[in-house]
Structure 1
Amino acid sequence: MHKAEKKYEVGKVTDEEQAKQRQLKGILNKLTPQNFEKLFEQVKAVNIDNVVTLTGVISQIFEKALMEPTFCEMYANFCFHLAAALPDLSQDNEKITFKRLLLNKCQEEFERGEREQEEANKADEGEVKQSDEEREAKRSKARRRMLGNIRLIGELYKKKMLTERIMHECIKKLLGRCQNPDEVDIEALCILMSTIGEMIDHPKTKEHMDVYFERIKLLSNNMNLSSTARFMLKDTIDLRKNRWQQRGKVSWDPRYPLSEELAKLATVNVYSYHKIGSAFLERYRPQSYPPVRRISEFC
């Protein structure tokens, strides 16, 4: 375990630390599937020897992933390799690991998304005075971050950076609003299911998944939802029936370049969960699962 040589005060960032973060940002800005290995070595060469630097690089990876969700799989892979390459840190006799800080960031972004959605809804209800443009910009930004974060969470799970139990908690959270479902939550749920479905849907979790999909079926027939939301839910049901084999899935081998045309298409359709598929699925079977909840418990 690597012990941090300096103790950093909260809110205080040294000139040396700012220089490190600028260097890391410059490297991450150039990251593509083609130059992955080369730039990974460059990040490793930066002296990530304390909690401040490690927290900073995780935050920068998250920001990149949320702004470029088409490449969430690549950023999750980057986290996977970085966690293996970096030593655990110790500060104030407390062990600090990459995975622990990553989990904290996932939770922080998830809760932030919920707050921003609530604020946007308050604006819609007239509780906050804003112009139509300001209100729509706030809603759009909150939606982009929420959907990008949920896609990244799913990709991190596929790399075993997050546990299956956490995925179940995310699903239950997104299914939680029974009487007045939020359409952004529904879209996030469909993205998460399309990302992790093949990996999380196995005999040991069948009872849980059946309960989730009973709820999804009820939502898909809720006429208070837009037709777009209902179709997304129905497509997710069909996806499970088809054993999670997505039609028209866009994927690529990171060893080969992604054409500019295809990259542009992927970016345009990045939030259409049925347009952009996930690749390189892995099987992982944990030993314990959260208690099964009946549909009534979601309401």
Structure 2
Amino acid sequence: MSALLQVEDLRVEFPRGGRAAAAVDGVSFELAAGECLAIVGESGSGKSITCQALMRLVPEPGRIASGRVLFEGEDLLQRSESELRRVRGGEIAMVFQDPSSTLNPVFTVGHQLIDVIRTHWRCSRGKARERAQEVLAQVGFPDPAARMKAYPGELSGGLKQRISIALALACKPRVVICDEATTNLDVSIQAQIVELLRRLKDELGFSIVFITHDIGLTPHIADRILVLYAGHAVEEGPVRQVLDSPGHPYTVGLLHAAPSLSSERGVALPTIPGTVPPLGELPPGAPFVSRCPVAVAGECDTAEPGWTAAGPGHRVACHRFAHDGTKGTTWVR
């Protein structure tokens, strides 16, 4: 598959203690048409900042220091602000974590949808209303005309998130970025939203960048996984290869910490010791070295690892894996 979106050596910096500290450091990945890429990691891993950078929405005082974001071959980082306004929401749309903070409480659902559609399509209000009702039906509302009259405050969290998805899909984007879009929902509603996104992706043909801290969600929606740690990509590959044969100790830790049907009731889940280092305080060497149970002394603490192939389309940035060729599940005790 040819790449619809290519991210090359992206670096995002924030000022910290009088110097520039990298929140995202050298991240690269590709997204094909009709594909879902899950970006996985703990809070502070750089997931959201990476995706904000794709649309040049990094909050100040942060800045995109280097790299390229190629959408259909054109670098979005080189486009003017007016050109980017047409891309945002029109070609690349975003579904945020908390719909309560993104939906305007004083305007009806219909008003907000029509406003977005007319901004990008320059169509009549009647045509925009038709499209608004069409997209509400697509996200599962049985009576779109009635739902157009509702205010966000009248809706549950799950219904608000469906409205957010409708807003993202209103102008038929090529890429939809879901930034922790299921985090604030209970488990049953979370499953409904994931299934809705998967079905709409298959029916409408758009691509998804699905940001999540829950690696257990990825097989239900993603084709491939990119694992980030402290702003660095540490593993990437097809979803089943990564989940069945993880190569990086951090990926293994995320998998062990995820609850499953086989988890024993009343028994605490394993955790990864420590926390992601604060911005600008990453130790020398491999990013994960301070928390890694299988670090190679004299190497992991001195040099950052390069990529090692782990299978077709599967790669791992880990000194231990490069030496042993051993899957991470045999290392962590």
TM-score under structure 1 length normalisation? 0.26
In proportion to residue count, which structure has more helix?
A: 1
TM-score under structure 2 length normalisation? 0.25
